[in-house]
Amino acid sequence: MKHLTIGFLLAVFFTPYLWGAKKNAQPVVEKPFPPLEAAKTMQVPKGFNVTLFAGEPDIKQPIGFCIDDRGRLWVAEANNYPDKKAGKKDRIIILEDTDGDGTHDKRIVFCDKLEYVSGIEVGFGGAWVMSIPNFYFIPDKDYDGVPDGEPIVLLDGFGTHANAHNIANGFAWGPDGWLYATHGRSNWSLVGKPGKPEAERRRIDGGVWRYHPLRHVWENFADGTTNPWGIDWNDYGHAFVCNCVNPHLFHVIQGAYYEPGRNRPTGKYAYERIATIADHLHFTNTKTIRAGIGTPEEDVAGGGHAHCGTMIYLGDNWPSEYRNQVFMNNIHGRRVNHDRLIRKGSGYTATHAPDVMRAADPWFVGVSLAYGPDGAVYVSDFSDTGECHHTRNTRKHTGRIYKITYGKPKSWQGDINKLSNPELLKLQSHRNDWFVRHARRVLQERQADTSALVKTLKTGSSVPLRLRALWALRVTGHLKEETLAGLLKDSSEHLRAWAIQLLAENQNPSEKVLNEFVSMAKKDKSPLVRLYLASAMQRLSVKQRVPVLKALLGHAEDEGDQNLPLMYWYATEPVVAADKKAAVQLLAACKISKVRQFITRRMATGP
């Protein structure tokens, strides 16, 4: 244990009273630790250090942040929280460490007239901001911190009608060039472009959605969970979200429906939903989830039921055993939980691992996690008290961002956006995925010539390097369909799977590709490939799906897989609803008992 202080000992003594089982129990400690003291009293594994990057009064109630091409942090401040009708008081600030000492020394107020802000990402000449009920783009072509014009409303209709926190949130650029975000259940949304009537809008009842920055289209990606906050991807492009309340971690599959159901209209015929991948809970009382808060048993389990800020570590500062592992803030436990991801069937299981950070400060509320160009991890602290919803002390105007490093990482000063195209291509092999992602996004913005990566795609030394080449070629428009179709026969299940997803993205694959899908559905031995086929079928017409689904439903060995029976059903249900003859054919071909039951049940309900 490091940096024992009187403040730390007081926090340990008072913790059971702060987070007792009684609902609305008042905190004993009325003030947070001073920012530097809070950093010094954090517990981390041997070799790690925690320093303060920023604290009040320079930053207040950070609800989210992103890191730009220069390594600056763009921070969304939720000054309105928890009042969604408080007016335009929220803001975006930019924090920069110009001398590389690990602490910010430059601050710019980028925008200070936003509604209820909950998400921020930067790229394509500006900032992308969730400020419910609107999704904005704020132009700043040269990223000087001065907007080039007023915020542009890209989408509206994001829900504001329910509680303070269960809202659209957390942005991140996906490997496929889309901007992804998570969405809570209670404040369901009817999303569309400004002025669109209700009939032309789509409902989202919570889960994951995405928006394409060049084509300006948006779509639901996956449905479910309670209040997911933050999404991230591993080296193979598999996405994960953590969840606030109920089981805490999910592997995000395109077209999936996740627990809990709770009568969501968007999943009326899902019948059953995919469960958490975690083989454990971070709380102890499943009937009254608040009852265990502050108890020794809950402390051992992981700290509590509320999580925020998913991060898959792909940096180059922390030890290698942390790579491709998932981390999330535990709100009640005042810590960063760590789960180990292990492949299982078509997906993953997650096992409990030692926490990577525990805060002594009784006001610590971690929200976002992200690794930067030096491989160190930034953790934002909303700095508040209260049980789960954190509405008690929100007028105190505190907030911090900490930096968790291993040893002394080498500081980085530069600008990815100023690099030449060949330099950006070279970065696709960087060990720190921060450089890979930022370089790929800039290549996408420029629609640069990435054809030099074709060689890496075909003969790269590792699957992750080949996938990076695939994604860069795709987002820049230099991936030929014949090349992509050729990957359907690749030796790597990951390349085959991603080829399926990208070929189905336009919802109109060629006849040759469809025939290959059928062949793969029959013969491919990889459950991961069959998972991607099931996702892809949801993007195709009912007629196009049937031959592939017949083959998939014939895999009796998929009966016990955690994803495949349900994913097969989600793709099958529209066929059963629309075509009785095809439904009978699928029922006859099906060797998976659960799907047979669902087909019969759906046929009985009518169209």
Q: How confident is the model at residue 23 (pLDDT cuts 50, 70, 90)?
A: very low
Mean pLDDT, range 439-458, rounded to an integer: 98
Sign of CA dihedral 92, 308, 38, 14: positive
- Residue 488 CA to residue 504 CA, distance in Å, equals 12
Quote the CA–CA distance of 190 and 200 in Å, as a whole number. 9
User: What pLDDT band is residue 391 in, cutting at 50, 70 and 90?
Assistant: low
For the cut 60, the answer to whether the pLDDT of residue 155 exceeds it is: yes
Domain spans in the chain, listed from the N-terminal domain onward: 6-38+54-406
CA angle, residues 158, 164, 167, in degrees to nearest 5: 35
- For 309-339, the pLDDT digits (tens) are 999 999 999 999 999 999 999 999 999 999 9
CA distances from 310 to 316, 381, 402 (A): 18, 14, 16
Neighbours of 11 (CB within 10 A): 23
- pLDDT-derived band of residue 233, with 50, 70 and 90 as boundaries? very high
At residue 44's C-alpha, the angle toward residues 39 and 48, to 5°, is: 90
- Residue 25, pLDDT > 60, answer no
Of 100, 150, 105, 143, the C-alpha closest to 124 is 143
Level-2 CATH architecture, domain 6-38+54-406: 6 Propeller (2.120)
> Mean pLDDT throughout 227-256?
95
Instruction: Show the tokens assigned to 413.
Output: 């000063």
**How many Å apart are CA 155 and CA 148, to the nearest integer?**
20
Question: Is pLDDT at 17 greater than 60 in this prediction?
Answer: no
Query: How far apart are alpha carbons 595 and 604 in whole angstroms?
Result: 14
State pTM to two decimals.
Answer: 0.94
Q: Which amino acid is at 534?
A: A
- Give the residue-averaged pLDDT of 571-583: 97
pLDDT confidence tier of residue 394, bands split at 50, 70 and 90:
low
pLDDT tier for residue 8 given thresholds of 50, 70 and 90? very low
Using CA atoms, how far residue 159 sits from 184, 186, 196, 469, in Å, is: 9, 8, 16, 38
Lowest-confidence segment of 19-28, 117-126, 128-137, 531-540 by average pLDDT: 19-28
